[in-house]
Amino acid sequence: MNDTMGRYRTVVGHRLFWPTAVLVVMLAANTIYRPGFLSIELKDGHLYGSPIDILRLSAPLILVALGMTLVISTGGIDLSVGSVCAISGAIACMYISKQTDQNSLAVVLTALAMALGVALVLGAWNGVLVAVIGIQPIIATLILMVAGRGLAQLITQGQIITINSEPFRAIGLGHLLTLPLAIFIALAAALLVAAFTRRTALGMIVESVGGNAEASRLAGIRSGRVIFLAYVLSAVCAAVAGFMMTANVSSADGNAVGLWVELDAILAVVIGGTSLAGGRFFLSGTILGALIIQTLTTSVYAMNISPQTSLLFKAVVVIAVCLIQAPAFRARFTRRRRNTPPPAAIADKPKEQVPA
C-alpha cells in the first residue's frame, strides 16, 4: 500500500503532472460537449480535425514561448516579442508585396532573410540594454514593445498589407507528410533549442546565470554574453512566429499581429513550471503550456463563446496553475492536511532509520 502511495506521489509530484491533467480535462470536456472533437480525417492527402488545428494554431505560440523560456530562465523577461512578430511580418509582407512575381521562392526567401536580419538587430538591442547597460529586463523590453508597434505601423504605413504569395502562405497553411508545415517548424525549433540546451552545457550555463548572474560571472561564465544571446534567440523565434501569423492570413497588420502574444507566451512558460525568478527551465513544460492555452482558445471558439471571453477562462487557468505551483499555497494546504493525521509524519521517521 505504501508502494502505491509512493508511486502516486511521484506521479502527482512530477512537474508535468498538473499541466497534463489540465490539458486532458480540457480535451475531455470538449469531447463531452462535442463527441466528434477528437476525430481526425484524411482529406485530399491532408489530415484534418480539431486536434490538428490546435497543433497548427499553437505553433507560433510554441515558438515565441521557447524563446521566452530561455529569457525567463536567465532571470529576465521579454515583453517585446509581440512587436517583433508584427515588425518581422510587416517587413516580409512589405518586401513581397513590392515584387512583380510574388510566387517566386527566391523573393520569399529574401523577404524572410531581411526580416530575420532585422529581428537579430532588435534582439541585439534588447540584449545590449539588459546585458551591457544593465537595465531591468521588464523595462528594457517595454521600450521595444511600445516603440515596436509604432515601427510596424510605420513599415506598413498604417495599412493592412495583403499579399498573394503561395510559398509565403505555406509557412502558415502548407502541408508536409499530411500534417501542417507549421507543426514541423515549431517541432524543429523545439528540438534545436532542446539539443543546444540539454545536449551541451549551454542549458546549465543559462540556468546558472538565471540563478545568480554575479556568482556565475565570478565562476568564469560570461553571463553578459549568455543573457545577450537569450534575447537575440527570443527575437528570432518571435520573428518566425510572426511569419506564421502573417502567412495564416496572407496579410500584415501592424496593430493586430502578435497582440498579447507576450502574455500568452509568459503564461505558457509559467504553466510549464518555469519560475519567473529564473534559474530553472523546462522546455517540455513550455510546449505543454502553449498547447493548453491554444486548446483553451479553441474550446472557447467551439462553444460559441465570444473570443474575448476566453480571457476570463485564461485568468482562471493562470490563477489555478500558479496557486498549485506556489510553494506557499502548497505549504498551507499540506500543513492543514498533516495536522489532521499527525501519526503519519511520525510513522515516516523510523522507517527511514531502519535501512540506515
Partner 1 sequence: MTTGSLTAGRARFRLPRRQIPVLATLVLLLVMYGIGVSQYQAFSNVQVIFNVFIDNSFLLVVAVGMTFVILTGGIDLSVGSVVAMTAMVSAWLLQEGLPAALVLVIALLIGPTLGLLMGCAIHFFEIQPFIVTLAGMFFARGMCTLISGASIPITDGFWTRMSQERIGNPQGNFVSISVLIAFVVVAIAAYTLAYTRLGRNVYAIGGNSQSALLMGLPLGRTRIAVYTISGLCSAIGGILLSFYTLSGAPLIAVGMELDVIAAVVIGGTVLTGGAGYVFGTVLGVLVLGVIQTLITFDGSLNSWWTKIVIGGLLFAFILLQRLIGIRYK
Q: Which is nearer to partner 1, 157 or 164 (CB)?
A: 157
Q: E strand or H helix at 160, and its extent?
A: strand 160-162
Q: Does the protein bind partner 1 through residue 73 (CB under 8 A)?
A: no
CA distance 344 to 356: 20
Could you say which of 176, 276, 303, 344 contacts partner 1 (CB under 8 A)?
Answer: 276
Q: Determine the interface stretch with partner 1 among 105-113, 141-149, 160-168, 223-231 (rule: CB under 8 A).
A: 141-149
Residue in the structure block whose three cell numbers are 505504501? 2
Could you say which of 308, 339, 340, 353 contacts partner 1 (CB under 8 A)?
Answer: 308
Q: Determine the interface stretch with partner 1 among 38-46, 138-146, 190-198, 240-248 (rule: CB under 8 A).
A: 138-146
Q: Does the protein bind partner 1 through residue 149 (CB under 8 A)?
A: yes
User: What φ, ψ does residue 202 adopt, rounded to 5°?
Assistant: -55, -45
Decide: 31 and 39 in contact? Cβ < 8 Å: no
Q: How far is the CB of 239 from partner 1 (least distance, A)?
A: 19
In order of 130, 152, 275, 313, the CA distances from 217 in angstroms are 15, 37, 21, 42
Q: Does the protein bind partner 1 through residue 136 (CB under 8 A)?
A: yes
Q: Which three cell numbers stand for residue 39?
A: 476525430
How many residues make contact with partner 1 (CB under 8 A)? 47
Q: Which three cell numbers stand for residue 149?
A: 508597434
Q: Does the protein bind partner 1 through residue 132 (CB under 8 A)?
A: no
- DSSP-derived letter for residue 275 is -
Query: Rounded to the nearest 10 degrees, how much is the dihedral formed by the CA atoms of 287, 291, 294, 300?
Result: -150
Q: Determine the interface stretch with partner 1 among 11-19, 106-114, 283-291, 326-334 (rule: CB under 8 A).
A: 326-334
Q: Which residues of the chain form contacts with partner 1 (CB under 8 A)? A: 77, 133-136, 138-140, 142-151, 153-154, 157-158, 254, 263, 266-267, 270, 276-277, 306, 308-316, 318-319, 322-323, 326-329
